[in-house]
Amino acid sequence: MIELNQITKSYTRGEETLQILKGISLSIVEGDFVAIIGPSGSGKSTLMNTIGLLDSPTSGTYMLDGVATENMSDNGLAELRNRKIGFIFQQFNLLPRLTAIENVELPMIYAGIPAKQRRERAQLMLEKLGMGQRGHHKPSELSGGQQQRVAISRALAISPSLILADEPTGALDSKTGIEVLELIQQLNEQGNTIVLITHDNHIADNARRVVTLRDGEIIKDVRNQPLPAQVSKQEALV
C-alpha cells in the first residue's frame, strides 16, 4: 500500500539546511497496524505528513496504492488524499463552528457525495463510535474523548484505505487514551490499515509492527504480531 523509497526532507533556516528525514525507505502492506515511535523532534510528524500527502519530500519516491506521487499537481495530491486517507490528530482538529455530524460530513463534501447520503453515512459512523446521540453537539460541548471519537468517525467517513493517527491519545487522560487506542485497534481488526505515530512506547506495544525513528532515520523495525488473515473490505467499512 505504501512504498517510500529514500525519502529526504530538508528545511533551510537562515544559512543552514536542516535535514529532518535522512533517507527513509519503508513499505507498509494493507491490513497492517504500524506504530512509528521515537523521541520528540525525530521527524515522526514530518514522516506522517509525507505519507498523508500533506507535505512533499525534498527527494525520494512515494507510491500510494500503486500510484506514483512525486510528479502530481497539488490538485491531484489533494484528490488522492481526500479519497484514500483518513486523519486523526492529537488536537482532534474539529471545526468549532460545525456540529459533530457536520464535521463528520466534511470529507464527504470534498468527495462530492450527495447531501442525503452524507448525512446517513455520518450518522452511521457516529453510531459506530458510540456517538450516535451526539451529532448535534458542537465540539466545545463534548469531552476530549468524545471529540476524538467524532474525529475518528470523520476519518472513517470516506472509507479510507489508510488511517493516519498522529499522537491520537496525546491530549487525553490515560483512561480515555486507552479507550481511543482500543477503538483504533478494533478498526485494524476490522480490516483498516493504520499508521499510528506516538512517542509513548506503551502505546506502540499494541501495534503489529513498530518502527523506531531517531534523528530522521529508521533505527529499528520490529514485528510484534502477524498480519491479520484477509478481512473482507466490505465487512470492514460498515
Task: Identify which of 189, 186, 184 has the alpha carbon closest to the alpha carbon of residue 197.
Answer: 184
Residue 11 near ligand ADP by CB under 6 A? yes
Three-state DSSP class for residue 15: coil
Residue 20 near ligand ADP by CB under 6 A? yes
Among 24, 32, 37, 43, interactor with ligand ADP by CB under 6 A: 43
Residue 42 near ligand ADP by CB under 6 A? yes
- In whole angstroms, give the CA distance from residue 55 to residue 160: 19
Q: Considering only 43-51, 110-118, 173-181, 201-209, which stretch makes contact with ligand ADP by CB under 6 A?
A: 43-51
Among 15, 16, 40, 229, interactor with ligand ADP by CB under 6 A: 40
Of 46 and 206, which CB lies nearer to ligand ADP in the complex structure?
Answer: 46
Half-sphere exposure of residue 196, counting CA atoms within 13 Å on the CB side? 32
Cell 533505527 belongs to residue: 219
Residue 80 near ligand ADP by CB under 6 A? no
Please say whether the beta carbons of 104 and 150 come within 8 A: yes
- Please report how close the Cβ of residue 20 comes to Mg ion at its closest, in angstroms: 11
| Nearest residue to the partner Mg ion, using Cβ | 45
Of 146 and 148, which CB lies nearer to Mg ion in the complex structure?
Answer: 148
Please say whether the beta carbons of 3 and 27 come within 8 A: yes
Residue 57 near ligand ADP by CB under 6 A? no
Residue 238: C-alpha distances to residues 121, 122, 186 (Å): 9, 11, 13
- Please report how close the Cβ of residue 97 comes to ligand ADP at its closest, in angstroms: 27
